[in-house]
Structure 1
């Protein structure tokens, strides 16, 4: 879960907790579901921020490969002796 999903859970939870009457649906208390979603959204928001902070603290190392351009002398008969 990221920051966006945490904000989404907080918004939907606030709508369920504060905008709907408590006795709208007899099977489930929507206000309690809203409070649970708000708490879950806050936890997701905090976790998303922690993960982004860890991702920003990475270090990068640059590796440069060097190849010698000198070639060894050609093998062959030796020159005239002096």
Structure 2
């Protein structure tokens, strides 16, 4: 979602900076457009970094043998970095 929002801000900023030729006395639309384009780039980069970090996973496998019955139990769990650690 943050990547799409960053692209949206960049596009709106580009429209304000390059496509509109409106003069407003109380605000400089070119400056606002450049600021929105910069914010869009920063948000897109942060979104990509968070997306890459989220894809890292960790797999834990535990194997136990019950001495009384001789049965073997295997438990496998996969967790992402933002979920609690698996013990």
TM-score normalised by the chain length of structure 2 = 0.67
* CA root-mean-square deviation: 2.0
Larger radius of gyration: 1
Which secondary structure state, in structure 1, belongs to the residue aligned with residue 59 of structure 2? Answer: coil
| Alignment of structure 1 residues 1-80 onto 2, 5 Å | 2-21=2-21, 23=23, 25-63=24-62, 70=69
Q: Between 60-69 and 4-13, report the one with greater CA deviation.
A: 60-69
Instruction: Give unpaired runs (5+ residues) of structure 1.
Output: 71-82
Unmatched runs of 5 consecutive residues or more in structure 2: 70-87
Query: Greater strand share, 1 or 2?
Result: 2
Deviations 1:60-82 (A, max 9, x none): 32456766773xxxxxxxxxxxx
TM-score by length of 1: 0.70
**Distance between the aligned counterparts of 2:54 and 2:32, measured in 1?**
32
> Structure 1 4/69 Cα, relative in aligned 2: closer, same or farther at 3 Å?
farther
**Whole-Å Cα distance in 1 between the matches of residues 61 and 27 of structure 2?**
57
Q: Is the 8 A contact 1:13 1:35 kept in 2?
A: yes
Segments of 4+ moved more than 6 angstroms? none
